[in-house]
Amino acid sequence: MFIEFDTKEENLQEKKELLEKKLKNTKEEINRLKKLKNHSYKSFVTTYQKLLHEISLIFTPISHLNYVCNSEDTEKVYNELLPQITEFYTNLSQDEEIYKIFKQIQKDKSLNSEKKRVLELEIKDFELSGVGLSEDKKKRLSQINLMLSEYQTAFAQNLLKATDSYKMEVELEDIKEFPKSDLENAKVDDKYIITLKQPSYLAFMTYSTNREKREELYKAYSTRAPENEELTTKILSLRDEEAKILEFENFAGLSLAKKMAKSPKEVEEFLYHLANNSKQKAKDELEELKEFASLDELMPWDVSFYSEKLKKEKYDIDDEIFMPYFEKTATTKGLFSFLAKLFDVEFKKVDTKVWHESVEVYDIYENSKVFARIYIDLETREGKRGGAWMNDWVVRHKDEDKIILPSAFIVANFSPSSGATPSLLKPSDVETLFHEMGHAIHHLFSKCEEINVSGINGVEWDGVEFPSQFLENFAYEPKVLESFAKHYESGEVLPKELMQKLKDAKNYHSAMMMLRQIEFSLFDIKIHQKLYNASEVQKVLDKVRNEVAIMTPPSYNKFQHSFAHIFAGGYSAGYYSYKWAEVLSADGFFLFLDNGIFDKEIANRYKDEVLSVGGSRSIYDSFVAFSKEKPNPDSLLRLVFN
């Protein structure tokens, strides 16, 4: 029914050889397909999609293991395969014969909307990959793609190694205000160790009373992976060259060619609109914090510490109060219960192969029939990439008369279980879990039959965050919390007054957070409009901060060296997508709030018009079909400032 995940590291070499053989056989099979006469959608496009998906079924687990159980072996195999994968897809994307076959099949008037969408997106991909270019330019694009994949992987691995290698020993007095679980996690033998991994770093910056040590940790965090400076300029240079070869003015234009936003100017106008409507409120938030801290000068390493104390004073809450009510497994099951009630589905835990003992796996049912599988890996550990993400693996599609069921992974870095204390989540962790589950159900709830537009496939990048941001809003609703927020020891339900305080505090310092995201987004879109060297990149960042930031970090802060989203991920000239999609999510969330969280008509419309259709049409059209309105940017301001 489902493809089993092979977790054995000793099988990596075997997987590598299998993938290399698969790449060779796929090339041969595609060449055979090209020689057929009277190409049809079924004879060519369906088979073509299936062949490429089979490659992904082998490679995705390899890359996944490299990020969740990183070792010399996983890294070696991954790095050896990456150039081969890159070369294969680059050559494929420039194959004029395939392009012409797609163009010919596109003329078939009998194709349904899904198939038309597959062809529309494939043809655009070919054109954006330089299918009509001279052989010299195609060759250069192939070289660029190969170098970019290597540099971006090196960027991510440098960051991972720098994060893993740092350790700071502290005294118990320095962390006396730590939540219990964070305190236990910091204890190593008879010492207390702080690292740059998110749970440890954030705990220290939020709760440590030692200001000098906070600055020391902040400096270590903001100067990680200095070797990435050279990589950033190489990556930017190659992207600029790629755009020029493809006859775009800059890489930003190339990136936006497949997004909802039509130009860098439109993106910047959108971001400055949000900034202009947020800056005064952010200044007020910072001024209040300065007065509360009573310091001669409030520094970046002071913000989290005093923000937490002010938050506690204003709302009489802190994370430590809530964490016992958000035990990891209970919270996960609570999220499943909420989704079950909202969408009439059921989650059942299954016993299957996993890559770590803390990973849990669930099958999802609708009308007593299984239709998807989800892997949940939430605890931080050595050799695991920081942050949180959803990774799609198997795509729902039709193979002859059989429906292939989808699978996906949710990965996070929450505090691990420690001794008698289970993994306990902060409210922000709960929000993160809801966010990643929003991505997962977008992939898993698909009803599409064509691989290339099923789930998140084919969804515009500046709309892919819509379902995730939409779902995270529910993490603060009392009607949702009351079903699962229970003390892990006593079983007591989170008191209603605390639920309300949590909701009231949701938008605490939201304007400062808004400007921070706008800063990242403007920096990203601007550095991809011209060719910059390392010092010029810093000047662009400084200029953006001068325009929108309300606190300037010290000169040694090299945030760009750890900005993996744009230098090692898929968000290059697209980081604005978080805010762009957040407009859709705010509009959609208000639709539920105004009509009742569990309104069946609206829930079914969201399920049918957004989740089920995946990328088979523009996410903009799916949003309008669901909401029956065009998106309004001011809805986002209403959501975060009210």
Question: What is the signed CA dihedral for 89, 95, 98, 104, rounded to 10 degrees?
Answer: 130
For residue 224, the tally of other CB atoms under 10 A from its CB is: 22
Q: Are 339 and 441 in contact (CB under 8 A)?
A: yes
Which phi and psi angles does 353 have, rounded to 5°? Answer: -65, 135
| Cα-only R_g, the chain | 25
Average pLDDT over residues 575-591: 94
From the number of C-beta atoms within 10 Å of its C-beta (0-12, 13-18, 19+), residue 171 rates as exposed
Q: Are 42 and 50 in contact (CB under 8 A)?
A: no
Buried/exposed code over 300-331 (b: 16+ C-beta within 10 A; e: otherwise): bbbbbbbbbbbbeeeeebbbbbbbbbbbbbbb
pLDDT at 569: 87
Nearest 5 degrees, angle CA 295-CA 298-CA 303? 120
Domains of the chain: 9-93+95-132 (1.20.1050.40), 167-222 (no CATH), 323-502 (1.10.1370.40)
Which phi and psi angles does 261 have, rounded to 5°? Answer: -65, 140
For residue 530, the tally of other CB atoms under 10 A from its CB is: 14
pLDDT at 199 over 90: no
**Residue 283 tokens, joined:** 């200044």
Distance CA(145)–CA(150), nearest Å, equals 9
Residues 6+ apart with CB under 8 A from 174: 192, 208, 209, 210, 213
In which band, very low, low, confident or very high, does the pLDDT at 387 lie, cut at 50, 70 and 90? Answer: confident
Q: Are 435 and 442 in contact (CB under 8 A)?
A: no
List pLDDT tens digits, range 423-441: 999 999 999 999 999 999 9
pLDDT at 5: 79
Average pLDDT over residues 164-178: 96
Strands 191-195 and 167-170: antiparallel
In which band, very low, low, confident or very high, does the pLDDT at 640 lie, cut at 50, 70 and 90? Answer: confident
- Amino acid making up residue 137: K
Average pLDDT over residues 564-588: 94
In which band, very low, low, confident or very high, does the pLDDT at 494 lie, cut at 50, 70 and 90? Answer: very high
From the candidates 436, 449, 460, 472, give the one annotated as an active-site residue: 436
List pLDDT tens digits, range 214-235: 999 999 999 999 999 999 999 9
pLDDT at 181: 80
In which band, very low, low, confident or very high, does the pLDDT at 385 lie, cut at 50, 70 and 90? Answer: confident
pLDDT at 10: 61
pLDDT at 3 over 80: no
The fraction of the chain above a pLDDT of 90, given in percent, is 85
Residues 6+ apart with CB under 8 A from 360: 329, 332, 349, 354, 375, 376
Distances in whole angstroms, Cα of residue 181 to Cα of each of 117, 200, 203, 426: 49, 11, 10, 11
Site of tokens 């050279």: 230
167-170, strands of its sheet edge to edge? 167-170, 191-195, 187-188
pLDDT at 504: 85
Distance CA(268)–CA(277), nearest Å, equals 14
Distance CA(428)–CA(574), nearest Å, equals 24
The terminus-to-terminus CA distance of the chain in angstroms comes to 47
168 alpha-carbon distance from chain centroid: 29
Residues 6+ apart with CB under 8 A from 489: 324
List pLDDT tens digits, range 27-84: 999 999 999 989 999 999 999 999 999 999 999 999 999 999 988 889 999 999 999 9
List pLDDT tens digits, range 104-156: 999 999 999 999 999 999 999 999 999 989 999 999 999 999 999 999 999 99
Q: What is the three-class DSSP state of 188?
A: strand
More confident residue, 73 or 622: 622
CA count, 13 A, side-chain hemisphere, 356: 21
pLDDT at 642 over 80: no
From the number of C-beta atoms within 10 Å of its C-beta (0-12, 13-18, 19+), residue 349 rates as middle
Residues 6+ apart with CB under 8 A from 577: 259, 461, 462, 463, 464, 465, 571
pLDDT at 452: 97
pLDDT at 320: 84
DSSP labels, 256-274 = HTTSSS--HHHHHHHHHHH
pLDDT at 409: 97
Distance CA(567)–CA(523), nearest Å, equals 12
287 catalytically annotated: no
Q: What is the three-class DSSP state of 108?
A: coil
Distance CA(498)–CA(315), nearest Å, equals 9
In which band, very low, low, confident or very high, does the pLDDT at 9 lie, cut at 50, 70 and 90? Answer: low
pLDDT at 7: 63
- Among the listed residues 415, 416, 413, 396, the one whose alpha carbon sits nearest the alpha carbon of residue 405: 396
Helix, strand, coil percentages, rounded to 5, for the chain: 60, 10, 30
In which band, very low, low, confident or very high, does the pLDDT at 8 lie, cut at 50, 70 and 90? Answer: low
For residue 626, the tally of other CB atoms under 10 A from its CB is: 23
- Among the listed residues 119, 117, 53, 50, the one whose alpha carbon sits nearest the alpha carbon of residue 399: 50
List pLDDT tens digits, range 390-426: 999 999 999 988 999 999 999 999 989 887 889 999 9
Residues 6+ apart with CB under 8 A from 612: 445, 446, 447, 448
